[in-house]
Structure 1
Amino acid sequence: MDEKEVYLSMDKPDLYNLGCAPLTLLAAKQVDDLWSVLTWPRQPLPVLDIGCGPGDVARKILAPRLPPGTKLVACDISTKMLEFCRQHNALPGTITYEQLDVVEPDLENSAVWQYAPFGKVFCLLLLHWVPDNRRAVQNIHKLLVPGGEAVFSIIANMVFYTAFEEMAKDSRWGRYMQDVDEFVSPYQHSEDPVSDFCQLLQSEGYQVLHCDVAPQVLFFPSEMQRRGVGSGVPALSARTTTAVPRSHLHQHLVPGCEGDRLLTSLEEQEVYISMDKPELYNLGCVPFTQLAAKHVDGLWSVLTWPRQPLPVLDIGCGPGDVARKVLAPRLPPGTKLVACDISTKMLEFCRQHNALPGTITYEQLDVVEPDLENSAVWQYAPFGKVFCLLLLHWVPDNRRAVQNIHKLLVSGGEAVFSVMANMTHYTTFEEMAKDSRWAQYMQDSQKFESPYQHSEDPVSDFRQLLQSEGYQVLHCDVAPQVLFFPSEMQRRDFLKSVCPFLNRVPEDKKDNFLDDWLQRMEKLNGLSKDVGSSEEPKYYIHFNIMVVMARKL
């Protein structure tokens, strides 16, 4: 490696990034929990994200929440990780990516020093990889303005650290794990990590405002994805074990306070799923990427692959996360992936943030295109596989869509569909369209409903459609589905991004409209909140979804 052998395979950003979605969600929850108590000066000072990794937290979590005009500097020890950030998570005018080792002894000559002092420093899920926590918090103190605030989250202990220590004593693995102590959190064996970290901070000139430790669980939609995270860690990929986090140390500190200021809002857009606002949609798409991964994993073993690879098509690729993080890593070597979407702005986002040269090509396509043979995608046909995930519930003319997919497939080619059969937000749209307060903004509400919203047997209906268009249906079922969001703010922001009517509502009525919509969904059990006895609340969206696999006859 060019850099020291740092934990989390920092010279393999693509590999690490494949499994980082649960960690991004965890970071979002930590930020949301403390955001309202952070203080913001009238004249914005720059904000620093230390240990930014692939840049998802900087672009998806921090940047959208910052007050207007605030500069975000995101730094990492790895030059290769920073190259990945600049390619996939660039946000010109807001985020600057720079190299920094958090224990840098010559801090004043680092690339980050030129932007100091910082009003806020976020050091999320980093310090458990850093043996010298004292030097790290000293450097962060130097980078902060007096009265500036820092937010830390640290894994206090974790069973894979214990497993490493046990395996290092095993004759089969000991020779590969002689440096095991370098890969163990400084707080792994602490009887009171909260007290230890608080004392460290106080001794280095911080006032500690919040410090606690709590159990934490990361959710992975499949065994394959959870196992895949392990391959992103050098001590795992070379020395093999699996990891399940047990707890994290969540820290908010301040050497002084000012007045509170809340985060800014984002603009919504009229087009469903914000197809011309890919940044907005992408902020909340992580649960859907995980859901798509679950559907793909559930059917992957029964897909058939020819010796000579044929291209694969991803229709309705959105921001490109599924194409790059879910499909591309699973394809046989040498397989070309064509990912398409109706939105040119979404495709621009894909090419900027989810490019994978030599493997993925992004092209424009309307799945109901009447002149398919002259579309940009036709040149790559025939395809051996077509994935049409979480798309057809937005398409009123499902017949034309499956006809086009049939034309694009090679004989014997296979298609995988996932389709929302019904969802309470469709029901609430119908109700609100009859409400005198909202009717004028929702006259076309039926355009935004799943074709299967009122079907008594959506599986039978979709199966018959496919069979009538020349498919053999190999698998077709419908099941309840739950999407998890780590905070109420994230769930609310996501629903705002997929509401087609909100931008039509006058500014002074938008909050009332949104509140009415969410309350109606809650009454219909489409939204729920789980408050456990010892855990933070969890927020869910409920719906039914069909997963289908079919073969072209």
Structure 2
Amino acid sequence: MNNAELYHRYNIITKRDALQCLEEYEKRIKWKKGEITVIDIGSGDGSVTMNILKKIIPNNCEKLVGCDISEAMVQYANDHYANDHTSFMVLDIERDLPNELRGNFDHAFSFYVLNWIQHQEVAFRNIHDLLSEGGECFLVFLGHMPMFDVYRTLSRSTRWKLWMKDVERFISPYHDCQEPEKKVKQLMTSIGFTSVEVECLQKTFVYPNLDALKGTVKAVIPFQIPKDLDEDFLLDYIKVLQDMHIIDNASSNVDGSIKATFNYRLIVAKGRK
């Protein structure tokens, strides 16, 4: 997950869902008047921040900050996207916040990040603390996703269990939850968010070919698989997808054209401080 070039090329599902969610919910975002500051939590390589999020941010934005736990991602984002009003910094939303960031942002966004975090209350409380009074957050993250079932299956195999001992750490806390929107709303309300709205969306994504699927898997894989075993891991990953009927075996050809259909749940949460 630290290969910024690879992530930049293959984070296609994140880009698509960020764009669709912002287009759908844009009119419900209540932008503050006057100069505003915005933070994108888990900004990765910076491409969603700059190519998607920034396009809907009003012209009165004085400062846009992207943050990510990965130093490699932050370096890539600063090298490619930083300017006088936009910068990227290293920040772990699951750890203590620097005091200088508390109450410093009028709007907080996050795409495909909170599903990686096990200490949900810490993360949501930190998001609340990042906001100024009256500030608003807009968060998009995974609930149920077949990818997590693949991780669990491979972690039980003799070949891969050594490198996947901590598999549950990388599975969304809402993967097995039947009504995640209720759980998230209750958590946000207990922390102090107001005007809380949480929805669980049914989504589908179809990978057009084997290269796109493999690239995405490699770009987001959180386990320290030895590089010389990368291809073997991907082959076993694809075999599990075939067993789960996510890859249509009848449509798989030697030229790499496949039909890999992922049906998943996406959680969209909005709240004010």
- Common topology (TM > 0.5): yes
Once the 2 structures are TM-superposed, how far is the Cα of residue 19 of structure 1 from its aligned partner? Answer: 0.4
Among 181, 189, 200, the alignment partner of 1:213 is: 200
1:49 paired residue number? 40
In the TM superposition, residue 236 of structure 1 has moved relative to its aligned partner by 6.6
Deviation at 1:62, TM superposition (A): 1.8
1:196 aligns with 2:196: no
Task: Indicate if the aligned counterparts of 1:28 and 1:61 stay in contact, CA closer than 8 A.
Answer: yes
Shift of residue 208, structure 1, vs aligned partner: 4.3
CA contact (8 A) 1:230 1:236 kept: no
* Separation (CA, whole Å) in 2 of partners of 1:220 and 1:94: 35
Write the distance in 1 (CA, Å) between the matches of 2:162 and 2:91.
32
SS in 2 for 1:201: helix
Whether the 8 Å contact between 1:128 and 1:187 is mirrored in structure 2 is yes
CA distance in 2, matches of 1:43, 1:14: 36
Is it true that 1:166 corresponds to 2:141 in the alignment?
no
Q: What residue is the counterpart of 1:82 in the other structure?
A: 74
Q: Residue 125 in 1 paired to residue 125 in 2?
A: no
**Displacement of 1:175 after TM fit?**
2.3
Richer in strand (by share): 2
CA contact (8 A) 2:97 2:126 kept: no
| Alignment-derived partner of residue 244 in structure 2 | none
Residue 18 of structure 1: aligned partner: 9
**Counterpart of 1:218 in structure 2: which amino acid?**
F
Equivalent residue for 1:38, pick from 5, 25, 29: 29
Q: Deviations over 1:434-460 (max 9, x none)?
A: xxxxxxxxxxxxxxxxxxxxxxxxxxx
- Counterpart AA for 1:142: D
The DSSP-based 3-state class of the residue aligned with 2:207 is coil
Instruction: Report the CA distance between 1:205 and its aligned residue.
Output: 0.3
Matched, 1:134 2:94: no
Cα displacement (A) at 1:189? 1.6
Structure 2 length-normalised TM: 0.82
| TM-score normalised over the length of structure 1 | 0.42
Q: Which runs of structure 2 are paired with 1:63-462 in the superposition (5 Å)?
A: 63-70=54-61, 71-90=63-82, 92-108=83-99, 113=101, 116-235=103-222, 238=225, 239-240=233-234, 241-242=237-238, 244=262, 246-255=264-273
Q: What runs of 5+ residues in structure 1 fail to find an aligned partner?
A: 1-8, 256-553
Identity of aligned residues (%): 24
User: Hey, what's the Cα distance between the residues in 1 that align with 2:66 and 2:19?
Assistant: 16
Q: Distance in 1 between matches of 2:166 and 2:263?
A: 21
Q: Which amino acid aligns with 1:249?
A: I
Q: Cα–Cα, structure 1 residues 162 and 60, in superposed 2: closer, same or farther, change >3 Å?
A: same
Tell me, yes or no, if the aligned pair for 2:37 and 2:104 is still in contact at 8 Å: yes
- Alpha-carbon deviation of 1:218? 2.5
Cα deviation code 1:202-230 (max 9, x no counterpart): 11001244211122123433221122111
Structure 2 matches for 1:489-504, cutoff 5 A? none
Could you tell me whether the CA contact under 8 Å between 1:201 and 1:208 is conserved in 2?
Answer: no
Structure 2 Cα separation of the partners of residues 154 and 233 of structure 1: 14
Amino acid at match of 1:80: A
Q: Which residue identity does 1:60 align to in structure 2?
A: N
Mapped contact 1:107–1:139 kept (Cα < 8 A): no
Larger radius of gyration: 1
Residue 106 (structure 1) shift: 4.2
- Cα distance change on mapping 1:37 and 1:106 into 2, 3 Å: closer
